[in-house]
Chain A
């Protein structure tokens, strides 16, 4: 079967009543997560994994993917109406989105964000369809050394662009990798760092760690600050004027390209495309002084880049098995919970599942547009729910999510411990994303390193005599050098999710 036939079959599966319902539920829940302050997409997706336990793998992944991109859009609403980003990628939208809301143009800001997200998402998914098959075929030729170098590249990108110190970024990655070493050794099968505790034989659960770092940690940080009031703005006029359309169209298409390109690179967090889009729009604008004072391009470009990135970031996950951000890493965890290993072999072994998921991205983008434009008033109302109730509800879902993974209170303790650590790291401005990616990639990174060295009978030349491995390792080193010399633009030196 060719790509088109697979895609048509995928649409058939994704449009089945059950899967369509899961996509709708996912989009609604995702948008809700994005809207609620204190719950980011990574923690939100992790918390909702138990909802999918009894679903078949296709339905479960469709729903969780919909939660993911729903959350990526939902963050825009709080950015515009509260000046508080619902998730990291919406930080930049606060600048002009909130200004637009103050000028009574909040509806237009949310409207252009929804339209831009739709265009960016659909184009990025089309591009995903085009590149997925060739890339997965190429990845099938990769051996352990290439995979080791590729994962190292991903970690270097996250590390190099994370926070204000390269060394702190590397240290956080190393912490994540070290935690990943706990459990049964992936090559020899012997217990390691388990301290005789049977709960640790399966390793430190990735989902409780994410819920702790990004869920509990964020709730504790939010509980510290006074809660902001929702701004009263005009939400009846969602469609931009002719002039606003003229200003936005270019930004939307540039944002699409930028988001897609950066989404393909493993390790580039969701915040970078939005910042780069904003910087690009401001630099090429004939009236840059409008930026910061309610320029619609300042919302259209970054929001489009955000959704384009969100869809493109599925490419490295589906074709190479490499997550680009903590949220994608949670999705990878969901694949694994459902007995699936994302990567090139999935295209060979379960093409019907992969293409149903890809087809669901198209459907999800349409659903988000349908849900978000007419329901924007409802989402704004949800923002008025007192934070105490949001906080208590989120904490309960965290407890259920952590417990239901293994029916063990050990995972709740783990989540609580990592929540306190996450809160402390936030206060110290130490990056969390490298630790999370280190944790999820650790077992594979170690396995590919050790298998490579077994292949070469312990000789390290296996890493510089294979061209792809060598290129990837040189790129990794270059990223670290650029970061060490502070050559990366300051505006993009943050990569939390």
Chain B
């Protein structure tokens, strides 16, 4: 946990330092008062200061929490989490070109298999409902525009 917080503090400090640099390039004060850079600059300065204090506090404190290795998911959990993220990323890439119905159909099958579902019938029924059924409900009944791909599906 200690190493995790140290890394998080460093990441936050980098973010605030970047915010200071970006804000410093914006007008801080103009003829009407504080400019667009004023508030984020002060936020960045406060964040950087507090990040420094946090990293010192964490480094000096005893390490009584779980280690980074203990915080990491085991291999099976890592696979499930990774699969969700990868499938979501692929869906997003093809969402508008392929259309909702096909992406949702493939997505449902991929996620269910990755999470350990094994019944082909249940997976098939779910995939059809989640893709074609949900599309019909949102697109036609609720008038929520979902993408229709280049194949017209």
Please, which residues of chain B bring their CB within 8 A of the CB of A188? 30, 32, 35-36
Q: Contact at B57–A392, with CB atoms within 8 Å? A: no
A50 interface neighbour in B32, B115, B138, Cβ under 8 Å: B138
- Complex Cα distance, B40 from A404, in Å, reads 30
Answer yes or no: A395 CB below 8 A from chain B CBs. yes
Question: In angstroms, how far is the closest chain A Cβ from the Cβ of B135?
Answer: 9
Total A-B pairs, Cβ < 8 A: 172
Q: Contact at B34–A53, with CB atoms within 8 Å? A: no
- Complex Cα distance, B42 from A453, in Å, reads 15
Answer yes or no: A204 CB below 8 A from chain B CBs. no
Answer yes or no: B132 CB below 8 A from chain A CBs. no
Q: Contact at A399–B15, with CB atoms within 8 Å? A: no
Asked if A53 meets B142 with Cβ closer than 8 Å, knowing A223-B80, A392-B112, A450-B39, the reply is: yes
Q: Is the interface of A mostly helix, strand, loop or mixed?
A: helix
Answer yes or no: A165 CB below 8 A from chain B CBs. yes
- Complex Cα distance, B77 from A220, in Å, reads 9
Q: Contact at A413–B92, with CB atoms within 8 Å? A: yes
- Complex Cα distance, B92 from A395, in Å, reads 12
Report A435-478 CB contacts with B as 1/0, cut-off 8 Å. Answer: 00000000000100110011001100000000000000000000
Asked if A396 meets B144 with Cβ closer than 8 Å, knowing A174-B47, A416-B85, A428-B71, the reply is: no
Q: Contact at A167–B57, with CB atoms within 8 Å? A: yes
- Complex Cα distance, B113 from A389, in Å, reads 10
Please, which residues of chain A bring their CB within 8 A of the CB of B57? 165, 167
Asked if A416 meets B89 with Cβ closer than 8 Å, knowing A192-B26, A428-B1, the reply is: yes
Q: Is the interface of B mostly helix, strand, loop or mixed?
A: helix
Residue of A nearest to B119 (CB): A386
Please, which residues of chain B bring their CB within 8 A of the CB of A425? 8
- Complex Cα distance, B71 from A425, in Å, reads 11
Report B21-49 CB contacts with A as 1/0, cut-off 8 Å. Answer: 01000100110111110111001101100
Please, which residues of chain B bring their CB within 8 A of the CB of A168? 5, 54
Answer yes or no: B102 CB below 8 A from chain A CBs. no
Question: In angstroms, how far is the closest chain B Cβ from the Cβ of A159?
Answer: 11
Residue of B nearest to A220 (CB): B81
Task: Kindly name the residue among A190, A193, A392, A399 whose own CB sees the greatest number of chain B CB atoms within 10 A.
Answer: A392
Please, which residues of chain A bring their CB within 8 A of the CB of B84? 219-220, 223, 391, 395
A53 interface neighbour in B115, B122, B143, Cβ under 8 Å: B143
- Complex Cα distance, B104 from A444, in Å, reads 38
Q: Contact at B73–A170, with CB atoms within 8 Å? A: no
Interface size on B, residues (CB 8 A): 64
- Complex Cα distance, B126 from A404, in Å, reads 22
Q: Contact at B44–A178, with CB atoms within 8 Å? A: yes
- Complex Cα distance, B9 from A428, in Å, reads 11
Q: Contact at B111–A391, with CB atoms within 8 Å? A: yes
Asked if A412 meets B95 with Cβ closer than 8 Å, knowing A167-B53, A454-B33, the reply is: yes
Answer yes or no: B128 CB below 8 A from chain A CBs. no
Answer yes or no: A393 CB below 8 A from chain B CBs. yes
B43 interface neighbour in A174, A185, A420, Cβ under 8 Å: A174
Ordered by A's residue number, 20 sampled pairs between the chains whose C-beta atoms are within 8 Å are: A50-B144, A167-B57, A170-B46, A181-B19, A187-B36, A192-B26, A192-B40, A216-B88, A223-B81, A386-B117, A393-B130, A400-B100, A404-B144, A412-B92, A416-B89, A416-B92, A429-B65, A450-B33, A453-B33, A458-B29
Question: In angstroms, how far is the closest chain A Cβ from the Cβ of B79?
Answer: 10
Answer yes or no: A337 CB below 8 A from chain B CBs. no
Q: Contact at A167–B50, with CB atoms within 8 Å? A: yes
Answer yes or no: A129 CB below 8 A from chain B CBs. no
Please, which residues of chain A bring their CB within 8 A of the CB of B134? 396, 400
Question: In angstroms, how far is the closest chain A Cβ from the Cβ of B89?
Answer: 7
Closest 6 CB pairs of A and B: A454-B33, A388-B115, A185-B36, A224-B77, A388-B117, A174-B47
Please, which residues of chain B bring their CB within 8 A of the CB of A407? 145, 147
Please, which residues of chain A bring their CB within 8 A of the CB of B112? 388-389, 392
